[in-house]
Amino acid sequence: MRRALAALIAALSTTALVAAVPAGPAAQAAPAVPAARAAEARAKWDTRVFARMPGGHPAYVHVARSGRVYAGTYIASGSTAPSRVQEWSADGVQRRSWSVPPRFQRLDADHGIQVAAETRSGRLIVLETSTSSVLTLDPDSGAWRRVARLPDGAVPNYATWGPGGLYVSDYGDDVIWRVRPDGTVSEWLRSSALAGVLEFGTTGLRYVPGDRAFYATQQTITTGATLPTNGGLYRIPIAADGSPGTPELLWTSLPTDLPDGFGISRSGHFLIAMAGLTNRIVELDADGTEVDSFPQLPLVGENGSSIPFDTPCSATFLGTRVLVANQSAVQGDATHMAILDVEVGQEGVAPWVPRSAEFGRR
């Protein structure tokens, strides 16, 4: 994903349409923050460095139910180093790390991982791109396991538990995959709404049980209703029989925004990271109306911290803040590869992890 994203942004940078950025003023909560931080008043959009990213190129931040924080590495093109999972405390203190075993990754190809979700028992769900695999990592024992492989050529990007299993977005194809607890993989939804320009397609994916619907971000849209460099946020309802309904476009991004990972607040607002040229975070209300954006001046990514937004790829709630993975996909600046901490002034909702969220032995 990192190499392809850099190529797309570079191609778009000479023809980007600069538009004005709008300015504006019963679920499980995201894990609580330590008392010292909770007592500290911070203004909305106050941005700080949560942690540097060893190995570089973080693409998503996962906040576990334990309160610990995880991210995986995308490797620079040409590197043969294995991808790694990094762990921090909720205060940003670096803890343990684990390398992907060679049998689960092709080191002679572009490779990368995202810690995308977790099982009910606390195993981390890790998506690996070079082998199109769904892996698990037990942070207690350090044991890795492959639970499923998507079809050849699939690019697993984000994952969420939903009815009947784990659902995985595909960055390179117009499909959402379902992985059953026994590891069986099938197409759950194939739709032209999920087709992207040059395969730059579906990114963030989240199931909201109270709404009985999935929400998905799309980096580029090819339906003809927008410019091919616009992305968007879709709502995908679920029918009574578990089949997908027609994706509904709730919001359309600016050209070259490239919407990526997102978090959902208790009020139903979406906080979405824009991995494209605009280097911003967008806030939408529950209906998909854009109510705020940060920073007000797009492109440069200046956020008031020592590290600007540089390909921000996720917005994961931790208390009233979102943790943003700064991938630096285009610049490749190692000093920008970090997890940033952005106060948003509202509590987040943790991803749904039902009791059935486990993989059995095959």
From first to last of its 362 residues, what are the pLDDT tens digits of the chain?
Answer: 444 555 555 545 433 433 333 333 334 566 655 544 544 789 999 999 999 999 889 999 999 999 999 999 987 566 788 999 999 999 999 999 999 999 999 988 889 999 999 999 999 999 999 999 999 999 999 999 999 999 999 999 999 999 999 999 999 999 999 999 999 999 999 999 999 887 789 999 999 999 999 999 999 998 776 667 799 999 999 999 999 999 999 999 999 899 999 999 999 999 999 999 999 999 999 999 999 999 988 889 999 999 999 999 999 999 999 999 999 988 889 999 999 999 999 999 999 999 999 998 65
CA–CA distance, 145 with 135 (Å, rounded to integer): 6
Q: For residue 322, what are its two tokens?
A: 């979102």
Kindly state whether residue 185 falls inside one of the protein's structural domains.
Answer: yes
322 closest CA partner among 274, 257, 278, 288: 274
pLDDT at position 198: 77
Kindly state whether residue 53 falls inside one of the protein's structural domains.
Answer: yes
User: What residues make up the domain containing 132?
Assistant: 2-343
pLDDT at position 26: 36
Kindly state whether residue 86 falls inside one of the protein's structural domains.
Answer: yes
314 closest CA partner among 6, 63, 3: 63
Residue 125, C-beta contacts closer than 8 angstroms, at least 6 positions apart = 115, 116, 117, 118, 119, 134, 135, 136, 159, 166
Kindly state whether residue 280 falls inside one of the protein's structural domains.
Answer: yes
Block residue for tokens 């572009």? 110
Q: Rg of the chain's alpha carbons, rounded to an integer?
A: 18
CA–CA distance, 210 with 214 (Å, rounded to integer): 11
Kindly state whether residue 360 falls inside one of the protein's structural domains.
Answer: no
Beta strands in 150-231 (DSSP E): 156-162, 165-170, 175-179, 185-190, 202-208, 213-218
Kindly state whether residue 94 falls inside one of the protein's structural domains.
Answer: yes
Q: What share of the chain is helix, strand, coil (3-state, %, to 5)?
A: 5, 40, 55
pLDDT at position 353: 98
CA–CA distance, 331 with 320 (Å, rounded to integer): 30
Kindly state whether residue 78 falls inside one of the protein's structural domains.
Answer: yes
Number of domains the chain is built from: 1
Strand partners of residue 161: 166
Q: Is 35 helix (H, G, I), strand (E, B) or coil?
A: helix
Q: What is the CATH number of the domain that holds 225?
A: 2.130.10.10
Q: Is 117 helix (H, G, I), strand (E, B) or coil?
A: strand
pTM to 2 decimals?
0.90
pLDDT at position 194: 95
Kindly state whether residue 254 falls inside one of the protein's structural domains.
Answer: yes
